[in-house]
Chain A
Amino acid sequence: EDKVVQSPLSLVVHEGDTVTLNCSYEVTNFRSLLWYKQEKKAPTFLFMLTSSGIEKKSGRLSSILDKKELFSILNITATQTGDSAIYLCAVSTDSWGKLQFGAGTQVVVTP
C-alpha cells in the first residue's frame, strides 16, 4: 500500500524563525512529489519535484527531493504570520495525476 508520511504533525514557531517540514514516502510507482499549502479553504500548489537534489525556490519557501532516501523537505525562512497553514505533501503515482496525500503539517506562526 502506498504511504506518504509527514512530520511533525504540527508545530508552533515565532515570527522570523525557520521551519523545516518533512515528507517521506513509500510508493510503487513514483513520478513526482508535490507540496501544497492549505489555509482555510482549498489547497494551493507550491512546488512539484521530480529530480533528486535540485532545489526549487519561491521567495522564502524552498524544497528539495531525495529519491534515494525517499523523502522531501520544505523550508520556510523568516516566517510570517501569513505562513500559518496546513502544508500538504503528495506523491504522484500515475501518468494521469493521481495524488496520494500525507496527513499534513499544521504550522502556526505567532507574532
Chain B
Amino acid sequence: DAGVIQSPRHEVTEMGQEVTLRCKLISGHNSLFWYRQTMMRGLELLIYFNNNVPIDDSGMPEDRFSAKMPNASFSTLKIQPSEPRDSAVYFCASSSGGTGPRFEGGYTFGSGTRLTVV
C-alpha cells in the first residue's frame, strides 16, 4: 500500500499564476478530503468527496479555488489566479468513508504540498 500520494511536494509560484495540486487516494478508499494548514488558521477543511461526488465545498475560500475528482483514485485542487495569502501546506486525505463502525482508522493523510506564492 503506497499510501496517499501528493504532488508536487513543494511549489513556488508567482502571484497570478495557476497552480494545480494532485492527489492519489489509497486503493479501496472512497472518500477524499482537501485540507489547508497555516500557522494562523491551523488545519482547515476545503472540500471533500465521497464516491467522486463533492459533498461539501463550503470551506473553499473563493472562486479562485476549484477541485475535481475525475475518477475514483485521483483528485486535483486548482488555484487560479494564485495570491500570496494562498501560501500554505495543502494536504489531501482519504478514508474508506463514513464514521460508522467501519471507520476505525481515521484518515490517512498524504505528505502535503508546500505552496509558496511570491
Which A positions have Cβ atoms within 8 angstroms of B?
Answer: 31-32, 34, 36, 41-45, 48, 88, 90, 92, 94-104
Contact = CB atoms under 8 A, between A and B. Distances in A.
Given A34-B106, A41-B111, A43-B109, A96 B97 contact: yes
A97 B106 CA distance: 8
B112 A42 contact: yes
Contact of A102 (B42, B55, B56): B42
B50 interface: yes
B41 to A, nearest CB: 9
Interface of B: 31, 33, 42-45, 48, 50, 55-56, 91, 95, 97-100, 103-112
Contact of B112 (A41, A44, A45, A104): A41
B99 A101 contact: no
8 contacts: A32-B99, A42-B110, A45-B106, A94-B99, A96-B98, A98-B48, A99-B107, A103-B42
